[in-house]
Structure 1
Amino acid sequence: MLHASTLALAGLVSTAVAETVHGVVVFSRHGDRTTKHFGAQVLTPLGAQQCFQVGSEYRARYFASDSPHRINGISEFQHVAAQVWASAPDQSILLGTATSFLQGLYPPLGDIQASDVSMQLANSSSVSNPLSGYQYVTLHGINDDSPETVWIKGDDDCPVVAAASADFKTSAEYKSRLASTRDFYRSLYPLVHEIYLSADNLSYAKAYDIFDVINVENLHNATSPARNVTADQLFQLRTLADSAEFGLNYNNSQPARSLHARTLAASVLSHLNETVNSAGQNPKFALLAGSYDTFLAFFGLANLTAASPDFFGLPDYASTMAFELFTPGAAFDKDDLHVRYLFKNGSTGAIKSFPLFGSGKADCVGRLCQRHAAARPEHRGGVVQRLPERGRLLRRVQQRRQVRRGCHVVCCWWWRDDSVLSRGGSIAVLVVMAVAILGNLIWAAMWLVRRKGGRRRRPLRGWERPSKRAQPSDKESV
């Protein structure tokens, strides 16, 4: 029996070792920051450390030579620009988040590979990079008015998402919580009387704002009355903020409410597609920095709440989710590609895999394959999830791109195999196709040409162009 068990264990180990990771896409939330209540929030030193720590953990998983999950062919010590892509909206918090993460991903060479720090010049002298061989990993910042922001923050300034989210406040669920929690919120006024004018300003309508204020004050301000909050009160505040923000970002009967999750999924698919089209060469690792609202929308859209009720809640600071492209064997086989979904809650949680779309498979979303045959509804851009042969199309939106005040709609297809569902081993696979990428690039190019070629209008004499100011919103996101 012992011999049989040993053989079985060896078989499991050999299967795990045989897997080869070819590419990874990571989406990260920012680290600890100052409160959003007053606007102009910034990443704190604690937040930068959290993101650095998370980046270091991903380095240990995907870059270390002794890791079973090491990305095939990735440079372990020295940054190679073609292998890594990083992008964040042009917001100081998100740019700082990505920068701190990348510092953990590729630390100064002097700390990890001292022999590569300096270079020899022709006159026999040597010179080193500043800061003990600090590595300058390229980070692509995206302007707020760029069409490319849709892939990371698809809900910003989008009237479709805003209207759908506003419907949550007309629901019976929202009205019930608003009434049942009124006394609880009013009882917290002594903790925040220096910030809110009266107890009447405290209600479930501001669930996230109130939680954010008390949580930040409790952590950073030693003299704040918010330090008197009890653990039970803080837990209740967090739970109510969870329910409010999830309701604003996802509803199964209203797909527009989670539009930003679809655009993120399209971005992930696009990055994985680049890796597949290069036969696993480059890029190998992509980092996107965004906001918690996109996390919540994706949790709902991908049915992660069926895997764990924790996905109904807000992700902690510096949380990440990753999409791991791998093959069961060592060779790069386009007909046998798989994607694994992983989530890490905050800087202290473990990197864990979860099943998507109710598949019940804890280690794999589904198989990806390259189709060279005539285009089919589920095939765009070379990479698709392999669908059941008798898959029935549940919902299909024709390919199109809507541009409305910066709001882009990316098409999605939902497939289901009824025979598989009836056996209880259901695989409901969401395939989000990035069919609008080329159109968006062309549109962006034309927009830039018109912007550069157009006549510059001078402001009226004696007046300056107004600067952007933070506007209050029911749907907070950073």
Structure 2
Amino acid sequence: MAASDSTILGVVILTRHGDRAGFYQDPITYTASSTVITPLGAQQEFQLGQHLRSLYLNATSPSFITGVNDTLVDQTQIHVRADAGGELGVIYDSAVALLQGLFPADTNYTTDLANGTVVTGALGGYQYVPIESVEPANDVSLEGWTSCGAFDASTTAFYNSSAFAQKRNESAAFLSQLPPFLDGRPVTLENMWNIYDFMNVQSIHNEAFSKALPPTFLAQALTLASWHEYGVFTSPQLDGIGNIAGRTILPQILSELASIANASDPLKLAYQSLAYKPFFSLFNMTGAAEQNPLLTGVVPYAAAMALEVRQPLAGGEPVVRLNFKNGTGEEFVTYNFLGASDDVPLSTLVNHVNPALINSTAAWCTVCSNTQDRGCGALALAASKASGGHHQPIGPVGAGFLGAGLTLAVVLAMLAVLAFLGMLTVGRGRAKKAGSTHSRVIFPLVP
């Protein structure tokens, strides 16, 4: 469907963070060490925000969002979330930088005082866009893979597979040449992400390293790292544990798409700042990677996916268009998905992924066989109290129905315990202020 055949109602944007200092993540659990964004990374995200503004908040653009306030931030029209997990401030700071480009300072950001004075916002009308900081300890939606025993077991099984053994043999000659460039890091295929990440960071920030590294080595390392990470963060089965990054983020994405498609809902633009992992699962679960093999690679810094909600001029239900920008210096490209050769009806996307969704903390605890971390301990305690002290395991949530199979008494007990522990907020969580440390928890609802 050509742009002229539809109008754009809004967009859900997913971006990878900008350039950062090096860090390490465990090859099995993917538990990550903290790192910091660089000035280059902040600039990359700011420029990405400017580019997004030129597309969606520019009245002369064919992708201008119908009815959006393109000057001053209307907080009812935008919803922003940022992963506050393993890479800590890098992802959150990337969101701040992007929003500076998306909604730049505006001298019309003023207030009239009772004494007749007109005051312009600080820094020439700098606009403060609320950002929901998503802490993985309380909310599983943006980092479904951490503290998940089933995911760890799946990763180990991948490392023990015949395909991995074959790739290890194929890459042995190349890996044997890398020790002089890795400052003592283990040179194994299992550690391939950390190998590539170190080489990439050093190539950007260390002139001596960049000059010493043979010209093909970084590209070869990226190819191996992409194969490695795609194998870890995807599954052939839609509801496979390798897809957990997509299975936990998709409920929020679908909710935002539905809000944009709903004429009575003011939401126009939803933005989530992420690590690279969910992109693998999302491209796999939607079939986009199958139709477009380019999408099996590691997405670079400041890459962006834009899921546009469009209304066909000929009528009918809203459709979704998948656009992807493969890092800085690239333009957005439209990619087909779900086997289609055109935009996909929103209901088709929902019906396809719905059986695999992990819609609640309770469901995640069950899938990951976790009874202690990320709210699972509180849920287990609540269930035990509700059953008179005898533990009743919480069964899987079926086909997108949140909390199906749980009794009202169990849910009320959960709420009481979570509230007592200070872990619970009620509501959609659409407008958390920047700098807030308060996070919502996904928990089952009663059908």
Aligned residues: 383
2:101 to 93, 101, 104: 104
1:23-54 Cα deviation digits (max 9, x unpaired):
21111111111111393311111111111111
Native 8 Å contact 1:339 1:368 kept in 2: no
Q: Looking at CA atoms only, which structure, 1 or 2, has the larger radius of gyration?
A: 1
Query: Residues 434 and 72 of structure 1: is their aligned pair in 2 closer, same or farther, counting only changes over 3 Å?
Result: farther
Q: Deviation of residue 452 (structure 1)?
A: 3.9
1:35 to 12, 18, 22: 22
* Corresponding residue of 1:349: 330
2:43 to 49, 53, 57: 49
* Corresponding residue of 1:88: 82
C-alpha separation between the residues in 2 aligned to 1:275 and 1:72? 11
Greater relative CO (CA pairs within 8 A, separation 6+):
2
Query: Residues 327 and 441 of structure 1: is their aligned pair in 2 closer, same or farther, counting only changes over 3 Å?
Result: farther
Q: Deviation of residue 247 (structure 1)?
A: 0.7
C-alpha separation between the residues in 1 aligned to 2:286 and 2:354? 15
Q: Provide the secondary structure at the position in 2 that maps to 1:343.
A: strand
Task: Say whether residues 1:183 and 2:173 are aligned partners.
Answer: yes
Q: Provide the secondary structure at the position in 1 that maps to 2:66.
A: coil
Q: Deviation of residue 262 (structure 1)?
A: 1.7
* Corresponding residue of 1:401: 363
1:335-358 Cα deviation digits (max 9, x unpaired):
521111111111221112111122
* Corresponding residue of 1:293: 277
C-alpha separation between the residues in 1 aligned to 2:358 and 2:220? 43
Query: Residues 452 and 139 of structure 1: is their aligned pair in 2 closer, same or farther, counting only changes over 3 Å?
Result: closer
* Corresponding residue of 1:21: 8
Query: Residues 202 and 259 of structure 1: is their aligned pair in 2 closer, same or farther, counting only changes over 3 Å?
Result: same
* Corresponding residue of 1:365: 344
1:212-265 Cα deviation digits (max 9, x unpaired):
1111111102234x5411221111111011111111111304711112212222
* Structure 1 segments unaligned to the other structure (5+ residues): 1-11, 370-382, 388-392, 414-432, 454-478
Q: Deviation of residue 76 (structure 1)?
A: 0.7
C-alpha separation between the residues in 1 aligned to 2:414 and 2:100? 31
Query: Residues 336 and 452 of structure 1: is their aligned pair in 2 closer, same or farther, counting only changes over 3 Å?
Result: closer
C-alpha separation between the residues in 1 aligned to 2:297 and 2:116? 59
C-alpha separation between the residues in 2 aligned to 1:140 and 1:76? 21
Within 5 Å, give how 1:242-253 maps onto structure 2.
Answer: 242-253=226-237
TM-score (norm 2): 0.77
Query: Residues 443 and 182 of structure 1: is their aligned pair in 2 closer, same or farther, counting only changes over 3 Å?
Result: farther
Task: Say whether residues 1:307 and 2:295 are aligned partners.
Answer: no
Q: Provide the secondary structure at the position in 1 that maps to 2:144.
A: coil
Q: Provide the secondary structure at the position in 2 that maps to 1:21.
A: strand
* Corresponding residue of 1:121: 113
Task: Say whether residues 1:231 and 2:215 are aligned partners.
Answer: yes
1:140 to 105, 121, 132: 132
Task: Say whether residues 1:196 and 2:184 are aligned partners.
Answer: yes
* Corresponding residue of 1:424: none
C-alpha separation between the residues in 2 aligned to 1:204 and 1:287? 34
Q: Deviation of residue 165 (structure 1)?
A: 2.1
* Structure 2 segments unaligned to the other structure (5+ residues): 26-32, 377-394, 424-447
Query: Residues 292 and 398 of structure 1: is their aligned pair in 2 closer, same or farther, counting only changes over 3 Å?
Result: closer
TM-score (norm 1): 0.72
Query: Residues 50 and 411 of structure 1: is their aligned pair in 2 closer, same or farther, counting only changes over 3 Å?
Result: farther
Query: Residues 41 and 443 of structure 1: is their aligned pair in 2 closer, same or farther, counting only changes over 3 Å?
Result: farther
1:165 to 155, 163, 166: 155
Query: Residues 398 and 144 of structure 1: is their aligned pair in 2 closer, same or farther, counting only changes over 3 Å?
Result: closer
Native 8 Å contact 1:88 1:94 kept in 2: yes
Task: Say whether residues 1:449 and 2:428 are aligned partners.
Answer: no
Q: Deviation of residue 179 (structure 1)?
A: 2.6
Structural RMSD (CA): 3.3
C-alpha separation between the residues in 2 aligned to 1:443 and 1:337? 40
Query: Residues 266 and 339 of structure 1: is their aligned pair in 2 closer, same or farther, counting only changes over 3 Å?
Result: same
Q: Deviation of residue 412 (structure 1)?
A: 8.0
* Corresponding residue of 1:77: 71
Query: Residues 441 and 219 of structure 1: is their aligned pair in 2 closer, same or farther, counting only changes over 3 Å?
Result: farther
Query: Residues 229 and 398 of structure 1: is their aligned pair in 2 closer, same or farther, counting only changes over 3 Å?
Result: closer
1:92-144 Cα deviation digits (max 9, x unpaired):
111111111111110111xxxx4x14444343433211111100000011223
Query: Residues 269 and 261 of structure 1: is their aligned pair in 2 closer, same or farther, counting only changes over 3 Å?
Result: same
1:404-449 Cα deviation digits (max 9, x unpaired):
3449998686xxxxxxxxxxxxxxxxxxx47459x99978744431
Native 8 Å contact 1:217 1:227 kept in 2: no
1:159-207 Cα deviation digits (max 9, x unpaired):
2222222211011111122233223222122223xx216xxx3121211
Q: Provide the secondary structure at the position in 2 that maps to 1:257.
A: helix
Q: Provide the secondary structure at the position in 1 that maps to 2:140.
A: helix
- Report the residue type matching 2:14 in the other structure: F
Native 8 Å contact 1:86 1:287 kept in 2: yes
C-alpha separation between the residues in 1 aligned to 2:260 and 2:401? 15
Q: Provide the secondary structure at the position in 1 that maps to 2:63.
A: coil
Query: Residues 156 and 394 of structure 1: is their aligned pair in 2 closer, same or farther, counting only changes over 3 Å?
Result: closer
Native 8 Å contact 1:89 1:95 kept in 2: yes
1:362-415 Cα deviation digits (max 9, x unpaired):
xx122549xxxxxxxxxxxxx955x9xxxxx997899982423449998686xx
* Corresponding residue of 2:258: 273
